């Protein structure tokens, strides 16, 4: 079984060590996808970006969102989904609501599409997202 916790930790360590540069949400998505594609564990799997849920034969009416940021799958297995956030323009209450929406979407994908795993990753560089009022 693939240990996504270790894989995500490896990815975050590369960011911390400045081996990978993340500067916006798109770069986060792109770099994580590249990182996953270079891993031996995923050699036989597809790693795709912004895949519509309709691809998995589900109607979009039953989901809170319409596209998956990163999806890992093969012909036989629906392995994992990743929803990512890297808010850069403040909007703290709005972004926090958006975090909740993405978490719910991950839950829906796991329940209704039968993905083995779902992950929501948030990177922030604005202290107001994790320190509260100042």
User: Could you read off the pLDDT of 83-119 as tens digits, one per residue?
Assistant: 999 988 777 778 888 899 999 999 999 999 999 999 9
Q: 56: Cβ–Cβ under 8 A, 6 or more apart, which residues?
A: 78, 113
pLDDT of residue 125: 85
Tell me if 63 sits within 8 A of 107, measured CB to CB: no
The single-letter DSSP state of residue 58 is: -
Name the DSSP letter for residue 43: T
Confidence of residue 134 (pLDDT cuts 50, 70, 90): low
User: What's the DSSP call for residue 78?
Assistant: E
Q: What is the pLDDT of residues 121-133, one digit of tens each?
A: 999 888 887 776 6
Q: pTM for the complete prediction?
A: 0.89
Average pLDDT over residues 36-46: 94
If you search the block for the tokens 């990177």, which residue do you land on? 123
Return the pLDDT at 130: 77
pLDDT of residue 88: 84
In the predicted structure, residue 22 carries a pLDDT above the cut 60: yes
Phi-psi sector, 50: left (phi>0), alpha (psi -120 to 50), beta? left
pLDDT number for residue 2: 79
């Amino acid at each position: 079984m693939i240990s996504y916790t270790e894989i995500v930790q490896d990815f975050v360590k590369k960011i911390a060590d400045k081996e990978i540069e993340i500067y916006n949400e798109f770069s986060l998505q792109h770099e994580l996808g590249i990182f996953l594609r270079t891993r031996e564990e995923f050699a036989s799997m597809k790693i795709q970006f912004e895949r519509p849920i309709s691809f998995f034969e589900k109607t979009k009416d039953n989901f809170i969102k319409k596209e998956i940021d990163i999806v890992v799958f093969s012909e036989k297995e629906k392995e994992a989904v990743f929803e990512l956030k890297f808010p850069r323009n403040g909007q703290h209450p709005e972004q926090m609501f958006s975090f909740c929406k993405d978490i719910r979407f991950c839950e829906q994908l796991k329940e209704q599409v039968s993905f083995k795993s779902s992950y929501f990753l948030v990177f922030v560089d604005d202290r107001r997202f994790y320190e509260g009022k100042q």
